[in-house]
Amino acid sequence: MDFDRADAVNQAIRLLSLRHRARAATLLTPLGLHTGQEALLLELDRSGPSIQAQLSEALGSEPPSVTLMVRKLEGAGLVRRAPSAADRRASVVELTEDGKALVGRVKELWCALAEETVAGLSEETVAGLPELLRTMTANVDGRRSGHR
């Protein structure tokens, strides 16, 4: 690939990432959430109670970042932690009733953000985006970890 094409691809990905995150932050602020926290709440809704290591893996976030998010969400009354019966060193994180109620609002916001993001694209293009983006992510992950 020549530089001009590479630059166009890389700039488009970078700008989309920055602007999507900024738009998400704007939408999350009225809910009292910061970017990343919504993903943790949605993951708990999807998977149920989880240990923090599982959350870190599912979110693609570093464990200290997940620990900080969990502390803040716990302080807000949206999640609770309890010792794991299987591993005393681990904490199980689960949604509280307030957290479950907020997840419904987060899902509405998430749908609105996705609709804004793909406006003007064909249904066929939108349907193919998740697989395309997963492939691109795997390509970058493979290079970062020294594979491929």
Cα separation, 7 vs 26, in Å, equals: 28
- The CATH class for the domain spanning 3-129 reads mainly alpha
State yes or no: pLDDT of 127 exceeds 90. yes
β strands within the chain, DSSP E: 50-51, 79-83, 91-95
Percentage of the residues of the chain whose pLDDT score is greater than 70:
96
Domain ranges of the chain: 3-129
Are 92 and 81 in contact by the 8 Å Cβ rule? The answer is yes
Could you tell me the pTM of the whole model?
A: 0.85
> Sorting pLDDT into bands at 50, 70 and 90, what band is 148?
very low
Cβ neighbours, 10 Å, residue 91: 18
- pLDDT band (50, 70, 90) for residue 144: low
- The pLDDT tens digits for 37-72 are 999 999 999 999 999 999 999 998 999 999 999 999
Report d(CA 144, CA 18) in Å as an integer: 20
| DSSP state at residue 1 | -
